[in-house]
Amino acid sequence: MNVANLIETTLESALRRIDDPAAPSGLTAAIRHAVFPGGARVRPRLCLATAVACGNDDPRLALAAAAAIELLHCASLVHDDLPCFDDATLRRGRPSVHCAFGERLAVLAGDALIVLAFEVLAVAEARNPTRLAPLLRQIGRSVGSPHGIAAGQAWECEKTIDIEAYHRAKTGALFVGSATAGALASGGCAGDWTRFGDLLGLAYQTADDLQDAVGEVQVIGKPIGRDAALSRPSAVASLGVAGAVRRVKSLVQDAVASIPDCPGRASLIELVFTEMRRFLPRHVELRAA
Amino acid sequence: MNVANLIETTLESALRRIDDPAAPSGLTAAIRHAVFPGGARVRPRLCLATAVACGNDDPRLALAAAAAIELLHCASLVHDDLPCFDDATLRRGRPSVHCAFGERLAVLAGDALIVLAFEVLAVAEARNPTRLAPLLRQIGRSVGSPHGIAAGQAWECEKTIDIEAYHRAKTGALFVGSATAGALASGGCAGDWTRFGDLLGLAYQTADDLQDAVGEVQVIGKPIGRDAALSRPSAVASLGVAGAVRRVKSLVQDAVASIPDCPGRASLIELVFTEMRRFLPRHVELRAA
């Protein structure tokens, strides 16, 4: 099975854990809507890539970590789309969860996804029980407070915003979490992979700003021009389109240079460049030329 | 140190984990507002009581479980008070989190509290790493979907409501989680304590309905008469005040009878009756007479 299918299958079996006819059906449906069909699944792919680079001696745990990370990412999107935040009506080309199921079920679906993510981790530790706590702490740190996704969104509520802290928390933290969780799931050392995750997160954030500025709704499946409309800080606003494209490429180069010595170093480098082509499409690059 | 102080101290040290001057200050303050000053801390007290009854051979883990459970409870209150749910302005005698900090920080504070709860568990497993996964699964089940708190709140969004499932999920599940987590943290068996937690949860829910119907705002620190105003199902509506009081007492008797053979059985029974006096105050009983 290829990586994309493995991720979908693992997410599917995670959702089967909550699929109970005796449960309130609206919540079950809202959770499913938040997870399927997915986006690019960039974070779980990164997590698995790092796990493979580190030897992948416990594939079940690595897959659980990847699924947990994607579930947490989906939860953050559902809450970020709420009327009190971005009030986004479209996500992945379909109505956002609060548009399809109402605000209450959107809040609860996000909550339940966060809980489910940690449960998914806890059912996969059988072969290496001592890896669970460090994995959980690493992933928790990347989504909670003070420097995870929740903190990132909370920067939007501050009078004075620390732009770097904002981006690092809102986007970078879960990239660091993805890379380091993959390493931890395979018995590697989180610290060796922090810089790699951090630089890829910055690259992805910059590419995302580019998509928002010059992408197409039908390609990215969500409204464009939101950064400008909401006066949000953006790499395009500060560097221009061409500058932002250059920055993505240089960040990816730095990320590749930071990869520690490990069994799968060469194929990981190849994979990183392939992924860059996915989140920095040719038409965006052409716009910058 | 007595149990009440131990719980506050453990919650305080959990919150120190997120208290970072480089974090967005609004979120940190909103999280603190959600946790301190606390309510009766019924759930962590139950968790610790069960842990003690089971021998309490890892007090640090039991305290972490108790704190995690209280943080999850606080998260559920913050989200339950949101405008799209109960739109409650008062909680524990002070403005609810969304009233004091706005809706966005209330959503994020709830999210961050859920994450923090699992992180707190994961930093306390050193002496018994193999207890972490079962603990996490047990606690996760009691707050997520399909039968935990999130599912409980989601029943309020269904066209037809299964009242028993609603109460069991919204209130009972975390009582089961508290009792069983205390047992698991002390190397006990979760299954031995499920019925105990379940019955205490039903007793507490019934007592809470009584407080809502005949309690006093200044005593319980939140608006009263909400069940009737929102046409929510309630034990008082179906049994009357006197019937509801009788039901609390009979549920507590059944709970006590269900306590398995364990080192601290006698003192646990005493504690349960003391707790009942806290959540079924004399003035409520007098109203029923």
- Mean local confidence (pLDDT), B240-265: 93
Per-residue model confidence (pLDDT) at position A120: 97
The band of B267, judged by pLDDT with boundaries at 50, 70 and 90, is confident
Q: Is the pLDDT of residue B223 over 80?
A: no
Q: How many residues does chain B have?
A: 289
Q: Is the pLDDT of residue A164 over 90?
A: no
Q: Is the pLDDT of residue A238 over 90?
A: no
Which region among A64-68, B59-63, B174-178, B241-245 has the lowest average model confidence (pLDDT)?
A: B241-245
- Mean local confidence (pLDDT), A79-106: 95
Amino acid, res. A264? G
Q: Is the pLDDT of residue B212 over 70?
A: yes
The band of A272, judged by pLDDT with boundaries at 50, 70 and 90, is very high
Spell out which residues of chain B touch residue A141, defining contact as CB-CB under 8 Å: 119
Asked if residues B52 and B63 have their Cβ atoms less than 8 Å apart, the reply is: no
The tokens of A6 are what? 């493995």
Provide φ and ψ at A189, rounded to 5°.
-105, 125
**Mean predicted lDDT score pLDDT of chain A:** 92
Per-residue model confidence (pLDDT) at position B220: 61
Per-residue model confidence (pLDDT) at position A232: 73
Q: Is the pLDDT of residue B287 over 80?
A: no
Per-residue model confidence (pLDDT) at position B152: 95
Residue from B31, B87, B111, B155 whose CB has the most chain A CBs within 10 Å, to mutate: B111
Per-residue model confidence (pLDDT) at position A247: 93
Question: pLDDT by residue (tens digit) across B11-46?
Answer: 999 999 999 999 999 999 999 999 999 988 999 999
Residue from B145, B163, B164 whose CB has the most chain A CBs within 10 Å, to mutate: B145
Higher-scoring residue by pLDDT: A229, A99? A99
> Which residue from A minimizes the CA distance to B116?
A144
ipTM exceeds 0.90: yes
Contact B20 A147 (CB under 8 A): yes
Question: pLDDT by residue (tens digit) across A137-162?
Answer: 999 999 999 999 999 999 999 998 88
Asked if residues B23 and A147 have their Cβ atoms less than 8 Å apart, the reply is: yes
Q: Can you tell me the distance from the alpha carbon of A196 to that of A194, in angstroms, rounded to the nearest whole number?
A: 5
Spell out which residues of chain B touch residue A145, defining contact as CB-CB under 8 Å: 18, 23, 27-28, 31, 108, 112, 115-116
Asked if residues A70 and A11 have their Cβ atoms less than 8 Å apart, the reply is: yes
Q: Is the pLDDT of residue A230 over 70?
A: yes
Higher-scoring residue by pLDDT: A227, B89? B89
Per-residue model confidence (pLDDT) at position A10: 98
Per-residue model confidence (pLDDT) at position B72: 98
| A residues 96..135 contacting B (CB < 8 A) | 102-105, 107-108, 110-112, 114-116, 118-119, 121-123, 125, 129-130, 132-134
**Category of A288 on φ-ψ map: left (φ > 0), alpha (ψ -120 to 50) or beta:** alpha
| B residues 217..276 contacting A (CB < 8 A) | none
| DSSP-assigned beta bridge partners for residue B94 | B91
How far away is chain A from the Cα of B246, in angstroms, using its nearest Cα?
29
- For chain A, say whether B196 makes contact (Cβ under 8 Å): no
Amino acid, res. B105? L
How far away is chain A from the Cα of B196, in angstroms, using its nearest Cα?
22
**Mean predicted lDDT score pLDDT of chain B:** 92
Pairing mode of beta strands A94-95, B94-95: unpaired
The tokens of B91 are what? 């909680």
Which region among A198-207, A215-224, B205-214 has the lowest average model confidence (pLDDT)?
A: A215-224
Q: What percent of chain B has pLDDT over 70?
A: 97
Domains of chain B: 3-288 (1.10.600.10)
The band of B176, judged by pLDDT with boundaries at 50, 70 and 90, is very high
> Which residue from B minimizes the CA distance to A24?
B155
- Mean local confidence (pLDDT), B53-64: 97
The tokens of A289 are what? 């030329």
Per-residue model confidence (pLDDT) at position A223: 67
Higher-scoring residue by pLDDT: A11, B236? A11
Please count the residue pairs, one from chain A and one from chain B, whose beta carbons lie less than 8 angstroms apart: 208
Per-residue model confidence (pLDDT) at position B49: 96
Q: Can you tell me the distance from the alpha carbon of A90 to that of A69, in angstroms, rounded to the nearest whole number?
A: 22
Spell out which residues of chain B touch residue A154, defining contact as CB-CB under 8 Å: 23-24, 26-27, 104-105, 108
Q: Is the pLDDT of residue B112 over 90?
A: yes
Nearest alpha-carbon partner for A200 in A259, A140, A251: A251
Spell out which residues of chain B touch residue A134, defining contact as CB-CB under 8 Å: 122
Contact B158 A102 (CB under 8 A): no
Q: Is the pLDDT of residue A218 over 70?
A: no
Per-residue model confidence (pLDDT) at position B156: 92
Spell out which residues of chain B touch residue A75, defining contact as CB-CB under 8 Å: 111
Q: Can you tell me the distance from the alpha carbon of B199 to that of B248, in angstroms, rounded to the nearest whole number?
A: 9
> Which residue from A minimizes the CA distance to B151?
A24
pTM reported for the whole predicted model: 0.94
Per-residue model confidence (pLDDT) at position A125: 84
Q: Is the pLDDT of residue B221 over 70?
A: no
Output the CA torsion B146→B152→B154→B157 (10° steps): 140
Q: Can you tell me the distance from the alpha carbon of B152 to that of B163, in angstroms, rounded to the nearest whole number?
A: 10
Asked if residues B140 and B122 have their Cβ atoms less than 8 Å apart, the reply is: no
| A residues 143..162 contacting B (CB < 8 A) | 143-148, 150-151, 153-158, 162
Burial class of residue A148 in the structure, from the number of CB atoms within 10 Å of its CB (0-12 exposed, 13-18 middle, 19+ buried): buried
Task: Find the DSSP H helices in A186-264.
Answer: 194-214, 217-220, 226-229, 235-258
Q: Is the pLDDT of residue B55 over 70?
A: yes
The tokens of B224 are what? 């009263």
